Amino acid sequence: MSDLQHRVEQFLYREASLMDENRYEDWLALFTEDCRYWIPSNREGADPTREVSILYGDHAMLETHVRRLASGNAFAQSPPSRMRRIVANVVADADDAGEIEATANFVVVEIRLHAQRLHAGRSLYRLVEHDGGLAIRYKQINLVGIDEPQENITFLL
């Protein structure tokens, strides 16, 4: 296994753990100030500026989302869902511009109001070197069942 592959895997495992543990501020610190975060509302996910998205935004939007979750005033997450994520099939490649493009499959198990839900998909990342480690410049989450009826996604993906 290459050093790059190992670093990216460990970074993505850490991100998953932070989300599972509701460590919102620590999760947000993984993103660059110029980041983009996107959950397309369709399978193609062509252009977030021209299509309806489940979520599309920048660092300021993520800050607002994290503040709301951390405040206890996010009533859809009061009490917070219990969750565990599995991250698998990580592939990482560096490009000539110094960015790392990575993909990973995920399964999220959510326990909320006495019901268990599964959310599965594939995430696409653009990572950069930042302060001696990696940081997320771009994250796109493609949910497998996006064309099926969805309940509100009220937690971090």
What's the CATH code, domain 3-143? 3.10.450.50
Q: Where are the beta strands (DSSP E) in 51-132?
A: 53-57, 82-94, 100-112, 115-130
- Using alpha carbons, select from 23, 24, 15 the residue that is nearest to residue 108: 15
What residues does each domain of the chain span?
3-143
Q: Give tens-digit pLDDT for 23-44.
A: 989 999 999 999 999 999 887 6
Q: Does the pLDDT of residue 45 top 90, yes or no? A: no
As a whole number, the mean pLDDT across the chain is: 87
Prediction pTM value: 0.90
Q: Give tens-digit pLDDT for 52-85.
A: 888 889 999 999 888 887 766 655 656 677 889 9
